[in-house]
Chains A and B, each alone.
Chain A
Amino acid sequence: MSETVADLKLIVFQLKDKEYAIPVNQVRSIEKVEHITRVPRTVGFVKGVINLRGVVTPIISLRSRFNLEEAEYNEQSRVIIAVLNDMEVGLIVDSANDVIDVAPESIEPPPDVIGSEESDFIKGVTKIEKRLFILIDLKKVLNPEELTAQDEKGLAG
């Protein structure tokens, strides 16, 4: 972690039965799930695009990105608008309603035992009292190389 000066502010969100966290400086806003326009022939976890106050913003489902089973969106579902470099992407999560402060040194590297698919996207874990927060690595979640072009079938002509 490069941030060593002060406490790290994290946005906490839930996926299935676990709590995840993402640094607040990577989050632009948290939105309710509105109409999503499907974008054809993109990878499965890209759910489509939304109109975010006039800006067309792509949406990915974190459940699907982490290979968890998909769930219906409900009142609790949120879109976290995350920013990485010049990419702005919405992440669909089950719910998001907490902000915590952690000391950077309290973040531990991801334990191997977590060992599922999602461990590829984890930067570290931190424990506060009895809660375990999984810090996700936005760079890996948004890795554009995994979006590489879909097959371009020969069409007319």
Chain B
Amino acid sequence: MEMNQYLEVFIEESKEHLQSCNEQLLELEKNPDDIKIVNEIFRSAHTLKGMSATMGYEDLASLTHQMENVLDAIRNQKIKVNAEILDVVFLAVDDLEAMVQSIAEGGDGKRDVSIAVEKLMLIEKGESPVLSKARAETAAAIAEPQGLVKSTYDDFEWTVIQQSKEQGFETYEISIALRADCLLKAARVFMVFEVLEQSGEVIKATPSVEQLEEEQFDQEFSVTIVTRETPEVIRQKLLKVSEVDRIGVLPISMGDYSSREAAKDEDALQPDVEEKADNASVMPKEEKKAPAAKQVSNKTIRVNIERLDILMNLFEELVIDRGRLEQISKELNNQELHETVEHMSRISGDLQNIILNMRMVPIETVFNRFPRMVRQLARDLNKKINLEIVGADTELDRTVIDEIGDPLVHLIRNALDHGVETPEVRKANGKGEEGNVILKAYHSGNHVFIEIEDDGAGINKDKVIKKALKNGIITEQTASALTDKQAYELIFASGFSTADKISDVSGRGVGLDVVKNTIESLGGSVSIDSKVGQGSIFSIQLPLTLSIISVMLVEIEKEKYAIPLSSIIETAIIRKEDVLSAHNQKVIDFRGKVVPLLSLKDIFEVPSDNHEDEFISVVIVRKGEKMAGLVVDSFIGQQEVVLKSLGNYLTSVFAISGATILGDGQVALIVDCNALIK
């Protein structure tokens, strides 16, 4: 049970380390000779190993350990990095991810990792003789005296050393090297200090005790101690601490500080040695408290997303009450109330921004998985792909982030499978063998744009139209009138696949129509642009957040409806005689375009007394390229509202996407324009 409180942190951090492994491994593939990258991976793997061992996930720890061995060999340049080795390491990382996932889902993190372990061992063993030699070499190198951490002392410390000497104490600088595979460095440091404090007084540590406790050192550190014991005794005691590799004891000689003695003598007010020693011994203890204080100065905290959701819900209530207050204040027409409400509105507006920002997550969390995916796909498809990611720090509401992953996977697969050509074809067409895929995210206004661009073959319009004709998606007649863009959009029609044959990668029955539906359900849109021979670009537009939206409130008889601003092009008031009729369908001429009119009164079967007006109010809405004019009785105005669902009982109400609560406490329904335009 006591582990539970750490479990969340463990899972979170494990995921981060695995992600870092993934990224760095991909980086390593590009720069196989860069030892820095190997070190980076090694560090992640190492931390992960330590954490999982502490948490008791043995399988996780042992696989990481094996992975570390291979990385170590690479690091020592005894294994040359190649695709096969990386494949195996990636396999191991996959296993690790699966195990962490299983732990996150409440499992025990056990998994058959024998294949990965075996392969890793083979890699390691294949080079083992050279490897051990390399290890001996590095060990020897570290043993050199100049490898030792050497401390410098300030006046105060010199004084302590000097006075100790007079009292018959010796001062030693002890350097301690921990084993390279030491799991809990901080714990070892603690044990070393325990031993030393039994033997004498620690007067200095390099790096500082604080840094040591935060494991901010490699393998070595040095401690200066004032003691009556012999160096050999101290060495033996320290070697009993497990995972301590080597001990170096260096006596601090009088000569080292004799030059400073003159200055010391002049100091008349020197306290006696006992006191000094006490002061000195207090030092490390004080410093031990430091890490806690340091964490306070930390600029970020992790917050459970559930808490943020609760905060968001409470804030939504506040937005509703704000609307209500605004309305009451308007009715009462009291200046003071007016000002107070206005002030409150401004403050809650700022609050709204802050809360929404808190829920923002960089799209990185989604983009991160793509380099691996692209690598694997490129290998499966025998294509050469260079994936470039731009704007991974672009932030999106978490609710959108959760949903956007799958559509993106689909579009990237599509780009790799259908877009980028094989190296041979590319060469023949005068392009570089390597295809480029750019994944880009950026903000613009209240929207986030995500683009997937490839420099592949582009979309063959004629082929698309032929296929659409064959599948009965369009008729011959409409086919001839299609613009390029309209033709490309056809690939979003259900049951459409441009691939001539169904490949392993895509075309498994799930078409791009699913992508389009998901994105539209998020209130976004997707469009395609393409040039034959030069590539295609898929552009996704998404709202920044889903829970608070801007709407236009309209009235139909006594009923109020909200139309999302994102669907509205504009509003218009037109004369009755300007309404034309075409095939039983009322239409208007809107800026040279024929737009069908829909009476919301009829569609929503609003009880009506059938009075006739000379003018009619129309809200022009759009769905993609299509438009429609919604006839209403009157416009109330624009408002920010909190989106609410109709609950689990009324799950599918035609043309209603949800509800909101207005300032007067009544419920208004939100019109789903996508359902109204076919």
Q: Which residues of A contact B (CB under 8 A)?
A: 34-35, 37-42, 46, 48-51, 54-58, 85-89, 142, 144, 147, 149-150, 152, 154-157
Contacts and interface: CB of A to CB of B under 8 A. Distances in A.
Nearest to B558: A38
A96 to B, nearest CB: 20
Interface of B: 316-317, 320, 559, 585, 596-598, 603-606, 626, 628, 644-656, 659, 661, 665-669, 676-678
Q: Which 3 A-B pairs have the closest CB atoms?
A: A40-B604, A156-B596, A37-B667
B626 A157 contact: yes
A58 B656 contact: no
A152 B628 CA distance: 17
Nearest to B597: A156
B488 to A, nearest CB: 19
A149 B317 CA distance: 31
A86 B648 CA distance: 7
A142 B647 CA distance: 13
Contact of B661 (A34, A56, A157): A56
B587 to A, nearest CB: 9
B678 A155 contact: yes
A96 B603 CA distance: 36
A37 B562 CA distance: 13
A151 to B, nearest CB: 8
A49 B677 contact: no
A87 B666 contact: no
B641 to A, nearest CB: 12
A157 B596 contact: yes
B654 A156 contact: no
Contact of A149 (B626, B647, B652): B652
Nearest to B664: A35
A119 B666 CA distance: 35
A58 B676 contact: no
Given A58-B650, A156-B678, 18 more contacts: A34-B665, A39-B650, A40-B653, A41-B654, A42-B653, A46-B650, A48-B667, A49-B647, A54-B316, A56-B646, A58-B646, A58-B647, A88-B648, A88-B649, A89-B647, A150-B654, A156-B598, A157-B628
B516 to A, nearest CB: 16
Contact of A39 (B585, B603, B669): B669
A157 to B, nearest CB: 4
Given A155-B598, A155-B677, A157-B677, A49 B605 contact: no
Given A150-B654, A157-B677, A51 B661 contact: yes
B605 A37 contact: no
Given A39-B656, A41-B604, A87-B649, A51 B666 contact: yes
A22 B653 CA distance: 28
A87 B603 contact: no
A52 to B, nearest CB: 10
By CB atoms of chain B within 10 A, which of A39, A48, A49, A89 has the most? Answer: A49
A56 B656 CA distance: 14
B391 to A, nearest CB: 35
27 contacts: A35-B666, A37-B659, A37-B669, A39-B653, A40-B603, A41-B653, A49-B659, A50-B667, A51-B661, A51-B666, A51-B667, A55-B644, A56-B645, A56-B646, A57-B647, A58-B647, A85-B648, A89-B647, A142-B649, A144-B651, A149-B652, A150-B654, A154-B678, A155-B603, A155-B676, A156-B585, A157-B678
